[in-house]
Amino acid sequence: MSDDSQLLLSIAILGGTGKEGKGLAYRWAMAGYSVHIGSRDSAKAQTAAKELMELLEGEALVDGMTNIEAAQKSNIVVLTVPYSAHKDTLESVKSYLKGKLFVDVTVPLVPPKVSTVRMPAAGSAAQEAQQILGEDVQVCAAFQNISHEHLLDDSEVACDVLVTGTSKEARAEVIKLVQAAGLIGWDAGPLENSVVVEGLTSVLIGINKKYGSTHAGIKITGANHSVD
Amino acid sequence: MSDDSQLLLSIAILGGTGKEGKGLAYRWAMAGYSVHIGSRDSAKAQTAAKELMELLEGEALVDGMTNIEAAQKSNIVVLTVPYSAHKDTLESVKSYLKGKLFVDVTVPLVPPKVSTVRMPAAGSAAQEAQQILGEDVQVCAAFQNISHEHLLDDSEVACDVLVTGTSKEARAEVIKLVQAAGLIGWDAGPLENSVVVEGLTSVLIGINKKYGSTHAGIKITGANHSVD
């Protein structure tokens, strides 16, 4: 009964007071996960959790706390911070992530030219996370291309999620999280491939600017995601 | 009458005896371009050109010659070689490309792990081409994700083309070539963004392997490509 096991799982969303983090929290709470919103400022996290509980009409488990507390309490830890806070946040929670599944949503945008791809020396934000967290943490990356706009309502998101990560098993776990959030996930290979997915966000920002759209995304064609 | 101007244009396809090159040649010849197939071996190029002329029932202008001759005779030069021949081919035609539009289709796959992204030191194959060719050549990159399988018949290709390049004007020219080939093209920004498009080919190869498909591709969603 693997579908029931998710009821036991708790997800931390570090930096979860931002729009992307709140959107994912909303969708996972709807799907029955226990969601711990983390922030450097626990009062902010509590406010975000309260907002989400109201939106969910109390029918869910969402609470707010510091990033460290959220990481400690959860089996799955998701990071949704601006790139400028990436390294510091990882360092601050590093010792609580051993043996856990870590999902990086960070896109290493370099203002002001956010539509030009600029990767960190490690190759990508996700590879940088792996370097900081070490081999004891299963690092995956996902959701970098999803516009937050449609996560907080229940509308269909016309953007697939490309999941990269250190192992096939970890990627399969994250694809389950993607599906729980009502999105379509694809195994996009090893963590080295995260450069494509992170960089695609800059391409999509550029397309929004050039073609006057607000939430350009991508869909994989010619393959069937439900074959596994 | 900018649509008529393409009748005056000739396109060289260096390494055009391969499947991708032949497929693009077929589509551009159909659209009324004069196409020069280039190869290191001019006899091979002539054979490929003859095959295409038969397929096109003589209603087109395709001929075969050496890469150098093709580059000399053309306003637009497209490169479709395996990555192992990228640098040498560029060096051999470099002096004939000044002031021309160059379109790199090369994907820097590193066998045997072709589903893992591995970029050259320059950042991408297209950036490497720019380094070799210098500032006098407008370098763009496109078509890296298109499976050759459907280029040689007239069926719809369910994969969009992301066009990167040194200038907006050059990208707009290449988007016209994409449309002439019956495909949908998007301005995907500066040449630095080519890492995303080249790397995406590895992701798509991995998806084919994992999901049992043969020609996974991508579509941009949430934006209108005909707005310009």
pLDDT of residue B6: 44
**Confidence (pLDDT) at A6:** 44
Distance, in Å, from the CA atom of B220 to the CA atom of B214, rounded to the nearest integer, reads 20
Contact flag A222-B210 (C-beta cutoff 8 Å): no
What is the distance between the alpha carbons of residues B158 and A220, in angstroms, rounded to a whole number? Answer: 9
pLDDT at A148: 84
Q: Please give the Cα distance from A99 to B39 (Å, whole number).
A: 54
Angstrom distance (rounded) from CA B201 to CA B127: 17
B145 contacts in chain A (CB < 8 Å): none
Could you tell me what percent of chain B has a pLDDT over 90?
88
d(CA A107, CA A104): 9
Nearest CA in chain B to A163: B203
Among residues B116, B134, B215, B200, the alpha carbon closest in space to that of B164 is found at B200
Beta strands in B45-158 (DSSP E): 61-66, 76-79, 101-104, 138-141
pLDDT classification of B9: cutoffs 50, 70, 90: confident
Sort out which chain A residues have CB atoms less than 8 A from B213's CB and list them. Answer: 222-224
Percent of residues in chain A assigned helix, strand, coil, to nearest 5: 45, 20, 40
Q: Which of A118, A124, A157, A200 is best to mutate for the B interface (most B CBs within 10 A)?
A: A200
A193–B202 CB contact, under 8 Å: yes
Do B10 and B36 contact (CB within 8 A), yes or no?
Answer: yes
Answer yes or no: is pLDDT of A137 > 50. yes
B203 contacts A162? CB cut-off 8 A: yes
Residue B3 predicted with pLDDT over 80: no
Kindly report, residue by residue over B122-159, the tens digit of the pLDDT. 999 999 999 999 999 999 999 999 988 778 877 788 89
Give the model confidence (pLDDT) of B99-118 as tens digits: 999 999 999 999 999 999 99
**Average pLDDT taken over every residue of chain A:** 93
Which residue in chain A is spatially nearest to B168 when comparing CA positions? A210
User: If interface means Cβ-Cβ distance under 8 Å, which residues of chain B face chain A?
Assistant: 115-119, 147, 158-159, 162, 186-190, 192-193, 195-197, 199-200, 202-204, 206-208, 210-225, 227-228
Q: Does pTM surpass 0.90? A: yes
User: What tens digit of pLDDT does each residue of A144-154 get?
Assistant: 999 888 788 77
Task: Report CB contact under 8 Å: B219, A218.
Answer: yes
The predicted complex's ipTM stands at 0.93
Q: What value does the mean pLDDT take over residues B60-64?
A: 94
Q: Is the confidence at residue B70, as pLDDT, over 80? A: yes
Q: Choosing among B155, B168, B218, which should be mutated to test the A contact, i.e. which has the most A CBs within 10 A?
A: B218
